[in-house]
Amino acid sequence: MPKLPRIAGKEVVRRLKVAGFVVLRIKGSHHFMQHPDGRATVVSVHANEIIGPGLMNKILSDCEMPVDDFERL
Q: How confident is the model at residue 47 (pLDDT cuts 50, 70, 90)?
A: confident
| pTM of the predicted structure, to 2 decimals | 0.92
In a domain? residue 14 = yes
In a domain? residue 4 = no
Q: How confident is the model at residue 1 (pLDDT cuts 50, 70, 90)?
A: low
In a domain? residue 57 = yes
In a domain? residue 1 = no
In a domain? residue 2 = no
pLDDT of 32 over the 70 cut: yes
| Domain around 42 | 9-72
SS3 of the chain: the string is: CCCCCCCEHHHHHHHHHHCCCEEEEEECCEEEEECCCCCEEEEECCCCCECCHHHHHHHHHHCCCCHHHHHHC
> Which CATH number characterizes residue 30's domain?
3.30.920.30
In a domain? residue 22 = yes
For the chain, the domain total comes to 1
